[in-house]
Amino acid sequence: MATTTIAKALNAGLRRAMEADAKVILCGEDIGKLGGVFRITEGLQKDFGEERVMDSPLAESGIVGTAIGMALRGYRPVVEIQFDGFVYPAFDHIVSQVAKMRSRALGHVQLPMVIRIPVGGGIGAVEHHSESNEAYFAHTAGLRVVAISNPADAYWLIQEAIAADDPVVFYEPKRRYWDKGELDETHRGVPPMSQASVVRTGSDVTVACYGPMVKTCLQAAQAAAEEGTSLEVIDLRSLSPLDLDTVAASVERTGRLVTVHEASGFLGIGAEVAAQVQQRCFYSLEAPVIRVTGYDVPYPPSRIEEDFLPDLDRVLDAVDRSLTY
């Protein structure tokens, strides 16, 4: 089993998908010769040619609109939105066409496409480069929304997303691109795309998180264990549909739930998880569900972004509050 980064695992997963199916085409700004801002597509244009790895104009609406046409013609386009905050010019295409085409055609027309979005903060970027906009798309019926957190999921889930007949919004945590983890390219060893994963077992409090917050929550679990508190950490992975069965089964054992994400709290993914767990696990809960999120303000300048992002201390404070009930 090799050790690699999330970035290299994504590159390897894209390469394998392109080798397996000539209909897989990549499109995005600077993804060809440059290999993308984060070098996720590095070397792919050289090996597969400019007709399959295409540098696009600086126009997200055009990128996604072209991909819709490709998908209608039988291709499986994978488009890169260079930064999360750049997706909004393509928002109309995604929510009005991509999400609704299959339903509009009564299932006779499919749009098998993947929209890759580097997500979240923590890289010291300027305005519009550090958004967490996953709730917009998770709210939209007809879209699958996935958030990866480790190299193994990066490698296998990008291939599963490309092979799916549903459109997939695929979130990649940009500040974790260079984090390393184990990856066995010969054996999948990870759950399906729609299933949450228990990444650390525990008995006192369930912590549900995804994307860049998984590492933070695992660090919090380690710190809590040193003080005698056992946290069970669940990586949601799929934000739409949500795998509430895994979360509920955990909460029924621990009696407590803390949800964690970088996005602002109001109407975030954590609110949906909290509502559904409260409904399903009411008689098992020993304390209210507590949310740890970014603040309900526009993403701040980079010099103070660490005050905005949930950190180990904020997660541990929520755990302490849950245990005091």
List the catalytic residues.
129
Angstrom distance (rounded) from CA 99 to CA 139:
11
* Helices 312-323/213-225 angle, 10° precision: 60
Angstrom distance (rounded) from CA 193 to CA 95:
21
* Contact between 170 and 138 (Cβ < 8 Å): no
Angstrom distance (rounded) from CA 225 to CA 244:
25
Omega before 241 cis (within 30°)?
A: yes
Two structure tokens written together for 245: 């069965």
* Helices 151-163/6-20 angle, 10° precision: 30
Number of CB atoms found within 10 A of residue 141's CB:
10
Going from the C-alpha of 280 to that of each of 16, 21, 209, 231, 234, the distances in angstroms are 40, 42, 19, 21, 17
164: left (phi over 0), alpha (psi -120 to 50) or beta: beta
Length of the chain: 325
Angstrom distance (rounded) from CA 118 to CA 132:
9
Backbone Cα Rg of the chain: 19
Q: What is residue 274's DSSP assignment?
A: H
Angstrom distance (rounded) from CA 25 to CA 41:
12
